[in-house]
Structure 1
Amino acid sequence: MKPVFILVTALLCVFTTAASAADEPFRPEAGKFPPLEKAHSYRGELVFVDHVNRRGSLRVEGNGVFRRNDPQPFAMLPYGMIRYHGAPADLRDIPLGTVMHVRAYLPPDPKISAVPVLPVNNKEKDADHRRGVGVAPAENHVLLLEDEPSHCLRENKVWKLKELELKNNEGMITASRESKAGGDGKASEENMTFDAATRIWRGRECLTPEELVAEGIWPASGKKSLEGQGVLLGITWKPTPGGVFTRFHISDIWLDDGAMQRAAHNQTETHKVSMRNRWMPAWVDAVEYGKFGRATVTVTLFGGMDASLYADFKKGIPALMNGVENTLKHTEGGTAGPSQMAARGSIREVTKTPGDAALGSSGIQLRYETDMITEGMRPTRIVRIRPANWPDAHMPREEYLDSGRFSLEDRFPTPAIFPKY
């Protein structure tokens, strides 16, 4: 009987361990791009940005009084993607007040989280004081942060304008976000405000409500049916009268594809300049060590960048690589910029993973050979890499750690910056 008892006990331990693992909440792991279906989705108003540490705060939308909701800190994952006007962006590009859509996870490692760590079930709690449920999610490490037009473009949706009410160049628009192909009978309507500062983009023109009135497209006052006109909207929030729980504001209306493409092009060019100055982020998949400091480093470039940037990484070209932190800050800045202490070498191979890459990944892997491997180049660590013909730009002081003269706080920013409401 004794062997049978031992076997049963062992099986019970295995099943208990498996059940415990299944009950553990999902957290992203180092070296793995997390599945999008595991992310929690929400949207909110961008109210604070610490762009050098890739973090900020959002006032998250719930079912209560929006203005009462405490700003909730968030941090971008190292491979987290930011989209603005349908193009790659940095937090510094996005105006405060912009309503953003979020796909986020629990902190990968709560011990070094740059934002407050909340109970894992926090999104299920009622925040009270007429704020509602879901306004303080624990899922505050972001894979995808995108504004309204970026969200619609990614999901192939548009806003169908139903009715306009106008007086003194300001008023209300009733609209619903629907599939571009139509047939979405479940789409709910929203009432959103606009005013004289709302920008209306038509081709290369930037118009105002007053100019649409002058053209006879909108009435000088009163209501007009817009008959489901399909547009893309930029959405923000501004203070509302006390009796209004939640009502968003329209900052921009793109009337046609050409207008939206122009906005995306402008933002893309802004981002390309930034990336060429700051280098492309990636993580280290593997390191093959040679003799006397030589090594071959295999990295995967992060996703969400313009295709022309990836195209610059070609087999055989000289390139520089530098270790960075999870915030994507260079570990070295030096008197001569990040290039001073960077590893120098060449790209030996460029491969593209077949099929669609996971969100956050470019699917492009580089094998990079250097004769001076540095401490930051270890598997799962984050690096930045640039072709040697990209600009040798020097970063502002806040964007690098300055060799050995930095504190632990510089490497691992604490949540202390965020106020407690």
Structure 2
Amino acid sequence: MIPPFHYSITPELHHSMTRMNWPVVLCLVLSVFITAAADEPFRPEAGKFPPLEKAHSYRGELVFVDHANRRGSIRVQASGMFFRNDPHPFAMLPYGIVRYQGAPADLRDIPLGTVMHVRAFLPPNPKIFAVPVLPVNSKDIDANHNRGAGIAPAENHVLLLEDEPSHCQREGLAWKLKELDLKNNEGMIIASCEAKAGAGGKAREEKLTFDAGTRIWRGRERLAIADLIAEGIWPASGKKALDGQAVLLGITWKPTPDGIFTRFHISDIWMDDVAMRRAAQAQTEIHKAFIRSRWMPAYVDAVEYGKFGRATVTATLFGGMDASLYADFQKDTPVLVNGSENTLKHAGGAYGPAHMASKGPILEVTKSPGDVPPGSSGVQVRFETDLVIEGIRPTRVVRIRPTSWPQVQVPREEYMGDGSNPEDRFPTPAIFPKY
């Protein structure tokens, strides 16, 4: 809210007002209100996909993952000493997208220590949450102890979580290598992140470390620092100008000597497009196999109830996945649909997700024209079932599997019972064996 203000009109002010260009003034005033509104924290609604431009952005190191509950912690980068920043919990929205090495991913695919870019919102329902709910203005509070403001934003429900190469590809950016300083197969690179096509914008220059463990990808080859030295591309020791060579970088964080508190580390260098495409292809195949075994998540848009448990259901498949997965949803294809929790855990899964699932043929598949918001695929599936289950209701999350996908049993941590026990949603140590 913008606070009210009070004023009085003097003769001098009245004279000035009569000389103003009011259309211009009105545009300026509106722009102030629009900017203020854009800065307001945004809370998504169930059953709707929020606009990416209203998300809060931050960057940090992935330090903890609870993949079964689609949550974790990130050490958020701010203006202070990075190593002092407490890990900040986050939860993926049910339709939240994870991208790693330019491809769809699950949280379990991301190595700890990877620097991630985050686009997140306030929790949709603060009464039902997988991570702590913070004061709305928490990102503006200085955490003190040389940490700075912004390390614990209330916007901790994530729409888009992506590593450095995925972020650069989506934004049309590349890292331009300027200079390296090398000794004993480790050293420092000065590089700037800027528009790949030279379209302008402010470049972000950083000093990044690398070492003998840094992976270098060139075409179909995986190289080490020693290989570049042996080829004479990099010197065995000393500095060398790199003339703005465009690459994509994988970035992590490691404790740094010399009193430098925020300096990131290069885990990977992709020297060309072929190398990056191969990495993305490998990760895509991993994710495709994962989704086929866990089922496609979707929002229920509408349910038309018939007699004796019959229903016709319309659902929108979640986005961010490989096109071949969506292509498996075709008219007349039989599907199984199971209720799911917002963490995408299957409900009623003690005998496997297929045990309680509704079954029936797809009646229609439609694709929304034009752009769709992130989180949505734009693919809407309408199917019929003769026994609709409780979990299939408008705005609820479900999982859908064409019968051509493999039928497997999901591990215990990835399903819950009937949803009546809160401890079943977020398992306690009781799920572990007694030794």
TM-score where L is the length of structure 1: 0.91
Question: Do residues 349 (structure 1) and 355 (structure 2) align?
Answer: no
| 1:392 alignment counterpart | 407
Between 242-251 and 280-289, the greater mean CA deviation after superposition: 242-251
1:268-320 deviations in whole A, cap 9, x for unaligned? Answer: 00000000000000010000000100000100000001000000000111010
| 1:365 alignment counterpart | 380
- 1:185 offset after TM fit, Å? 5.8
CA RMSD of aligned residues (A): 1.6
Equivalent residue for 2:282, pick from 257, 266, 269: 266
1:201-246 deviations in whole A, cap 9, x for unaligned? Answer: 0011110001100000000000000000000000000011261121
| 1:168 alignment counterpart | 184
Q: Distance in 2 between matches of 1:398 and 1:25?
A: 33
Question: Do residues 122 (structure 1) and 134 (structure 2) align?
Answer: no
Gaps of 5+ in 2: 1-36, 429-435
| 1:81 alignment counterpart | 97
**Using a 3 Å threshold, how does the CA distance of structure 1 residues 260 and 129 change in structure 2: closer, same or farther?**
same
1:379-418 → structure 2 map (5 Å cutoff): 379-403=394-418, 407-411=421-425
Gaps of 5+ in 1: 1-20, 415-421
| 2:158 alignment counterpart | 142
1:95-134 → structure 2 map (5 Å cutoff): 95-134=111-150
Residues 337 and 399, structure 2, Cα contact 8 Å, conserved in 1: yes
1:380-412 deviations in whole A, cap 9, x for unaligned? Answer: 0000001011000110111111347x6213236
Equivalent residue for 2:349, pick from 333, 340, 345: 333
SS in 1 for 2:263: coil
Number of aligned residue pairs: give it. 392
Residues 335 and 400, structure 2, Cα contact 8 Å, conserved in 1: yes
Q: Distance in 2 between matches of 1:287 and 1:307?
A: 26
| 1:72 alignment counterpart | 88
SS in 2 for 1:111: coil
| 1:9 alignment counterpart | none
Q: Distance in 2 between matches of 1:233 and 1:275?
A: 27
Residues 320 and 388, structure 1, Cα contact 8 Å, conserved in 2: yes
Q: What is the letter of the counterpart of residue 388 of structure 1?
A: T
1:30-45 → structure 2 map (5 Å cutoff): 30-45=46-61
| 1:10 alignment counterpart | none
Q: What is the letter of the counterpart of residue 329 of structure 1?
A: K
Equivalent residue for 1:237, pick from 243, 253, 260: 253
Equivalent residue for 1:307, pick from 323, 328, 339: 323
Q: Distance in 1 between matches of 2:243 and 2:157?
A: 40
Residues 334 and 341, structure 1, Cα contact 8 Å, conserved in 2: no
- 1:108 offset after TM fit, Å? 0.8
Residues 277 and 391, structure 1, Cα contact 8 Å, conserved in 2: yes
Q: Distance in 2 between matches of 1:185 and 1:32?
A: 33
- 1:341 offset after TM fit, Å? 1.2
| 1:8 alignment counterpart | none
| 2:42 alignment counterpart | 26
Residues 41 and 121, structure 2, Cα contact 8 Å, conserved in 1: no
- 1:24 offset after TM fit, Å? 7.7
- 1:113 offset after TM fit, Å? 1.3
Question: Do residues 60 (structure 1) and 60 (structure 2) align?
Answer: no
Q: Distance in 1 between matches of 2:258 and 2:387?
A: 63
Residues 49 and 57, structure 1, Cα contact 8 Å, conserved in 2: yes
Q: What is the letter of the counterpart of residue 180 of structure 1?
A: K
SS in 2 for 1:153: helix
SS in 2 for 1:365: strand
Residues 165 and 173, structure 1, Cα contact 8 Å, conserved in 2: yes
Q: Distance in 2 between matches of 1:413 and 1:86?
A: 32
Q: Distance in 2 between matches of 1:185 and 1:411?
A: 45
| 2:26 alignment counterpart | none
Q: Distance in 2 between matches of 1:222 and 1:412?
A: 53
Equivalent residue for 1:208, pick from 224, 227, 232: 224
**Using a 3 Å threshold, how does the CA distance of structure 1 residues 214 and 24 change in structure 2: closer, same or farther?**
closer
Q: Distance in 2 between matches of 1:140 and 1:26?
A: 11
Q: What is the letter of the counterpart of residue 210 of structure 1?
A: A
- 1:334 offset after TM fit, Å? 2.8
SS in 2 for 1:110: coil
Q: Distance in 1 between matches of 2:371 and 2:40?
A: 28
TM-score where L is the length of structure 2: 0.88
Q: What is the letter of the counterpart of residue 234 of structure 1?
A: G
Q: What is the letter of the counterpart of residue 197 of structure 1?
A: G
SS in 1 for 2:83: helix
Residues 72 and 136, structure 1, Cα contact 8 Å, conserved in 2: yes
- 1:188 offset after TM fit, Å? 2.7
SS in 2 for 1:184: coil
Equivalent residue for 1:228, pick from 213, 227, 244: 244
